[in-house]
Amino acid sequence: MTTSSQPMIDQWYPVALASQLPPEGRATQLMGAPIVVLPGEPIRVVAGGGRDLPVTVRYGHVWTSLGEPSKELFDIPEADQPGRRLVEVGVVRVRCSPLRAVENFLDIAHFPFVHTDILGAEPHTEVGKYDVEIREEEDEVWATKVQFYQPQAAKSATGGITTDYMYRVPAPTSSVLYKTCPARPGDWDVITLFVQPLTEELCDVWPWMALFDDETPTTDLIHFQQMIFLQDRSILENQIPRLLPLDPGREIPTRADLTSVAYRRWLKRHLFTYGAQLVAQ
């Protein structure tokens, strides 16, 4: 690992579901370093040489860092809102850059082509204008006023609707999606993507949700999200270059890619470059 990785070393990352730790612990990797997540009170995360890493348990997951995080894990206020179902989806391993996984999550334009007849459908392929900003106070990327037609926006949806979206990137490998709640118009369902960078080209993706949905069985909710992420995986594992380019190089970003551009700018500003390609090739 190079010194240029330092800003990302000091971030929090998900490394396990707190509720599903086996008695012997979960042996895994974080940014190329072997670690073990050990059950108990408190849960511990131990790196090579027996070094105890900082631990926080939030949103159903165990979070740790190889460095020294300068602030607490980002807040998702909806996690504590009464009436929501908190759904731990599990883990999907993807052979791609952790930054690519987040960028794909932010990309609406792929819905009709990858999640056909579920999150999008032809001929409704156009992404309308929306707002993107880097909020200085929170130091987060936000995309708002995003609208997209979806044949089946959620497991609980019974027909096609125009879905409102907001995207938030509070950490380099985490994103929070707010979308129209079919059961409670006026409220937002929360779907997150927490990404554990195993290496620069391999990651474990831990989706998690906070929904207003009292009816759909949990297994159906989990299967629905896993199906979406498995569809994404086949695309992600074939992207070239494998690292996320911060210089557009041969790629031609357009206005529909505004969120991706803002995300890459934010990564570049903070030197969050683990999993990124710095110079176009």
Partner 1 sequence: MPTARERMTIRGSLGADSFLPWIARHAARLGLTGEVRHADAARVDIDIAGPADLIDAMEMGCLLGPIDVWIETIDRAPVPSG
Give min distance, CB of 270 to partner 1, in A: 12
Interface with partner 1 (CB under 8 A):
246-248, 250, 252-255, 257-258, 261, 264-265, 268-269, 278-280
Whose Cβ is closer to partner 1: residue 58's or residue 265's? 265
Q: What is d(CA 135, CA 79) in angstroms, rounded to the nearest whole number?
A: 21
Whose Cβ is closer to partner 1: residue 36's or residue 261's? 261
Give min distance, CB of 149 to partner 1, in A: 22
Give min distance, CB of 250 to partner 1, in A: 8
Whose Cβ is closer to partner 1: residue 58's or residue 268's? 268
Whose Cβ is closer to partner 1: residue 196's or residue 277's? 277
Give min distance, CB of 1 to partner 1, in A: 19
Q: What is d(CA 216, CA 226) in angstroms, rounded to the nearest whole number?
A: 15
Whose Cβ is closer to partner 1: residue 134's or residue 166's? 134
Give min distance, CB of 264 to partner 1, in A: 6
